[in-house]
Structure 1
Amino acid sequence: MGGARYVTDLIEACERHAGVPALGAGPSWLLTFDEVLSEAYRLAGALSGLGVGRGSGLACVTAGNPPEQLLVRLAAHLLGARLTQVVVGPATHGLEFLLRDCEPALVVHDTPVPDTGVARVTVGALLESARALDATPVPVRAREEDVARVTYTGGTTGRPKGVASTFGAMAARKADRGRSAERVYLSVTSLAQRSGGRCLEQLRAGGRSEVLGPFDTRGFADACRRLGPVSTYLTTSMVYRLLDDPVTAAGVPGLEQVSYGDAPVHPERLRRALTGWGAGKEWRQGYGMNESGVICRLTAADHEAAAGDRPELLGSVGRPVPGVTARVRAADGSACAEGDTGEVWVRSATVMAGYWKRPGQTAEVLRDGWLRTGDLGHFDADGYLYLDDRVKDVVMVDGENIYCGPVETALTRHPSVAEAAVVGRFHEVTGEEVCAFLVPAAGADPSGEAADAACALVERELARDHRPTGVFWLPALPLTDRGKPDKRRLRELARRDADDEA
């Protein structure tokens, strides 16, 4: 039986394009395709010597976006290891739980990590040991059915869930990207999440990827001018920051293709970019999730239509991509009529194998080959999907998932807070912001001081980005007919408050 196609395609691309620039990280760090492959072979040998092999777990924890992450990832794929990557940032919490849950045989890190009783090695030490080895070709040990990655998402109860994706699913996810190798792919988001896969897909296509450090508008613009023509993936908040910077507000020379889709985007702000950044730019939006890959896409042609006589399309997430079947269903599982709101269900070869070590939660979302997304939406007559609300309680801040349940739990630990409900609302810089509605405990004073103390408790227990930036006291939370906090009503109250302040 041959190796997993996702990995063999990468190896063949590196061999086919030997001598061509493949992976860069600034003016002084650039590897050709054959050098990428040689480094991956050396790292695979070093990892194998440390006990990593087919089916074993490997955790890679970094404090930033070092391009070496991609080399470690490729080496892990060669060995058929089960990889978990974490970039530690202002939204990171529960790292010790995660490192125990993913059951790694080895933890590779460049930042302090908790001792969970398994072997650890720094990135620097691993690279040094790899350099001492010959670049002996390693046979691809990964198989299609093997779990390639366990990617953690925040949990509504505070426990992150590991999304297990097979090599076969990863190959299917990448197949519809069609990224042009004629453009340099500029990576500005986490290599542990979206950008890592996009960089490897660019390698598969024979194109070059360039990894930037922390995003800033001027540095991004300089890189686009230096490397153009460029394609990239931007979070919603990055689009807003480019629009708000006088230097980049009218467009970025060298930037030809922009993908986005991490959080709801304000249609008028997006339209400003479409019309103000000049003709010839390709805009694409992708709607998806870790559990499914891309579900729908608003194509470049859709964006052109939206900039013209169909502005309503900017409120849509597009139509299902090839290979994906999407349906909107009522609570009883029956199909919804056109225009009616229901939960989005999807079926494709890209869907996850399940939640790592969580058969109960897997059974809740995987039904007869269908994945329940937890998003509520409706289809229009032309097959465009519009998202109306969320079943899953999550706020997207600067491209990071902030799950509301853990924030609510932390808020109610403060003695002044009897009940708490958390929602997101539009923010022109971060995409969304966390808003908390609090009910005071008996005898407590609903003051700004008490709210600040409760929010500080959230930051201490979770992480900085979980701290609410908008707080409202209510005598009681509005409830649905099922007796649960009415999040739709609360989002409307938060939006009205923002409109009044404006």
Structure 2
Amino acid sequence: MAARYVTELVEAFERYAERPALGVGPDVARFSQVLDGVHRLAGALAEAGVGRGSGLACVAGRNRPELLTVRIAAHVLGARLTQVVAGPASYGLDFVLRDCRPDLVVHDVPVPETGAPRIGLDELVRRAARRPAAPMPVRAREEDVARVTYTSGTTGRPKGVASTFGAMAARSSVRPAGWAEPVHLSVTSLAQRAGGRCLEQLRAGGRVEILEPFAPREFAAACRRLGRVSTYLTTSMVYRLLDDPATAGGVPGLETVSYGDSPIHPERLREAVTRWGCRWQQGYGMNEAAVICRLTPADHDAAVAGRPELLASVGRPVPGVEVRVRDGDGAEVPEGCTGEVWTRSAAVMAGYWGQPALTDEVVREGWLRTGDLGHFGGDGYLYLDDRVKDVVMVDGDNVYCLPVEAALTRHPGVARAVVVGRHSDRTGEEVCAFLVPAAGRPPGPGTAAEACDLVEQALAPAHRPTAVFWERDIPLTARGKPDRHRLRERLRLGAPPAPPERQA
């Protein structure tokens, strides 16, 4: 039986045939035109040897609409797809292109020679355009691997997350019927969360607009032009919009903001929610499990109306997803106690591609160990405290980085904060903070000490950073998350200390 995820997607394109579907600026294709392109691309890929169970890698230098049509064409054929949008923060491409074992590599930027056949993306599109738009039967099956998506690899080499078509269907089912926004403006990598989010929008009959590259003022101009816009923003994008005078007070035309990818500082989130007046929602998830919890628009409204603690939460489990917080032995911990977050649902990955031993470490009887540390508060809300590998051990006590970062950014002179640990002969490890000053507020002689005072008041003396470094910006991974690995490496290599007047 053909995979439901793919058949329902094709049926949606047929149902909404004459509606606008996919655009970049003034060029907007209807659903029927996009579907014709999908069938042509599927034919061209099949002619190049791609079929059910084949590996297809697609590497692009920027977000472009063809990445979505190639993705759908691969799904129709039942191929195993790996997509990469290469950028300045990307690395490990040679490893990825060998590890995913592609039968064909499609690219529009130079790629390493790995022995697999290659074709330029533009050449593939030209070949497809010469073919008839004859419908291709859906060859994918529920149990087939649909995608192998690679993690950012900040703690080692990237890992390939294998997801079946059945899991993809479960991931799309968390959205209620008729949820589509008039226009979804896509500004993040189509190889990651944005690609799936665009297909969800199209499945519901909504229009997708792609903006590349992201910049606050260009984003605002697109929202004004399109009107009634929904979007998905990384945490760093929210910060950039808040810090740009042109967008700090709001973005006309922007109605709904989903955000995620990395933890957001509650004070900055409150600033955005109260200034912009949009509908806000957060999805906590990961490649291995899709969306696990959601902080809804109603939760955000409640937060600004008198429950500010909710802005530090990632919400409550979405329907069909089980979440537990467990100790090192796998036993559940009481409410309010920190442990590792485990989750179970039909959306969980099939495993790490080609790494059964690693899969066995993190998947136990259908439960996925997320590697995130958190606790349940009242009313079933989940709060994240840290990543298992990011905990700083000070005199044998666990210091969780996220609460420290949240406390630091309560200071009006601190726009962003990232905390990591480094070796200390006295305490085993010490807490180090990298801070970005608030726009228009260069750090004064006592700013760092005042921010660290807030940490000590909110948490405990052991949580107080012992070293502070002021930065123009925080380095990010290819997925837009703070690159803690790079910051730790700078510390290991002897990053210069802050001037005396700025030390904590």
Match of 2:323 among 323, 326, 330: 326
Give the 5 Å matches for 1:289-300.
289-300=286-297
Give the 5 Å matches for 1:4-153.
4-27=3-26, 29-153=27-151
% identity of equivalent residues: 67
Aligned length: 433
Q: What is the RMSD of the two structures over their aligned residues, measured on CA atoms?
A: 3.3
- Aligned partner of 2:231 in structure 1 is 232
TM-score (norm 1): 0.80
Superposition deviation, residue 388 in structure 1: 1.2
C-alpha separation between the residues in 1 aligned to 2:101 and 2:501?
Answer: 47
Write out per-residue CA displacement over residues 157-204 of structure 1, whole angstroms, 9 at most, x where no aligned residue.
Answer: 632110000111111111113473342000000000011001111110
- Aligned partner of 2:253 in structure 1 is 254
| Distance of aligned partners of 1:498 and 1:155 in 2 relative to their CA distance in 1, 3 Å threshold | farther
Write out per-residue CA displacement over residues 31-74 of structure 1, whole angstroms, 9 at most, x where no aligned residue.
Answer: 10000100000000000000000000000000110111001001
C-alpha separation between the residues in 2 aligned to 1:96 and 1:211?
Answer: 28
Superposition deviation, residue 382 in structure 1: 1.1
C-alpha separation between the residues in 2 aligned to 1:188 and 1:161?
Answer: 24
Is 1:374 the counterpart of 2:371 in the alignment? yes
Equivalent residue letter for 1:75? A
C-alpha separation between the residues in 2 aligned to 1:421 and 1:361?
Answer: 30
Three-state SS of the structure 2 residue aligned to 1:34 is helix
Three-state SS of the structure 2 residue aligned to 1:177 is coil
| Distance of aligned partners of 1:390 and 1:466 in 2 relative to their CA distance in 1, 3 Å threshold | closer
C-alpha separation between the residues in 1 aligned to 2:227 and 2:319?
Answer: 29
C-alpha separation between the residues in 1 aligned to 2:500 and 2:125?
Answer: 50
Superposition deviation, residue 381 in structure 1: 2.4
Match of 1:312 among 309, 313, 327: 309
- Aligned partner of 1:173 in structure 2 is 171
Give the 5 Å matches for 1:396-407.
none
- Aligned partner of 1:219 in structure 2 is 218
C-alpha separation between the residues in 2 aligned to 1:4 and 1:338?
Answer: 40
- Aligned partner of 1:468 in structure 2 is 487
Three-state SS of the structure 1 residue aligned to 2:337 is coil
Equivalent residue letter for 2:266? P
The answer to which of 420-429 and 102-111 deviates more is 420-429
Three-state SS of the structure 1 residue aligned to 2:103 is strand
- Aligned partner of 1:352 in structure 2 is 349
Superposition deviation, residue 500 in structure 1: 4.9
| Distance of aligned partners of 1:235 and 1:169 in 2 relative to their CA distance in 1, 3 Å threshold | same
CA contact (8 A) 1:240 1:428 kept: no
| Distance of aligned partners of 1:379 and 1:248 in 2 relative to their CA distance in 1, 3 Å threshold | same
Equivalent residue letter for 1:50? A
TM-score (norm 2): 0.80
- Aligned partner of 1:483 in structure 2 is none
Write out per-residue CA displacement over residues 248-285 of structure 1, whole angstroms, 9 at most, x where no aligned residue.
Answer: 1111111110000111111111111111113xx21001
Three-state SS of the structure 2 residue aligned to 1:180 is coil
CA contact (8 A) 1:90 1:465 kept: no
Three-state SS of the structure 1 residue aligned to 2:372 is strand
- Uncovered stretches (5+) of structure 1, i.e. residues with no partner: 397-401, 409-418, 430-457, 459-463, 476-493
CA contact (8 A) 2:181 2:230 kept: no
- Aligned partner of 1:158 in structure 2 is 156
C-alpha separation between the residues in 2 aligned to 1:423 and 1:172?
Answer: 41
Equivalent residue letter for 2:104? L
C-alpha separation between the residues in 1 aligned to 2:430 and 2:348?
Answer: 31
Three-state SS of the structure 1 residue aligned to 2:380 is coil
- Aligned partner of 2:199 in structure 1 is 200
- Aligned partner of 1:284 in structure 2 is 281
- Uncovered stretches (5+) of structure 2, i.e. residues with no partner: 392-400, 403-417, 423-427, 439-476, 478-482
Three-state SS of the structure 2 residue aligned to 1:234 is strand
| Distance of aligned partners of 1:50 and 1:264 in 2 relative to their CA distance in 1, 3 Å threshold | same
C-alpha separation between the residues in 1 aligned to 2:383 and 2:293?
Answer: 10
- Aligned partner of 1:243 in structure 2 is 242
Superposition deviation, residue 467 in structure 1: 4.4
C-alpha separation between the residues in 2 aligned to 1:53 and 1:267?
Answer: 47
Three-state SS of the structure 1 residue aligned to 2:51 is coil
Superposition deviation, residue 390 in structure 1: 1.2
Three-state SS of the structure 2 residue aligned to 1:61 is strand
Equivalent residue letter for 1:19? E
- Aligned partner of 1:191 in structure 2 is 190
C-alpha separation between the residues in 2 aligned to 1:303 and 1:248?
Answer: 20
C-alpha separation between the residues in 2 aligned to 1:297 and 1:213?
Answer: 27
Three-state SS of the structure 2 residue aligned to 1:382 is helix
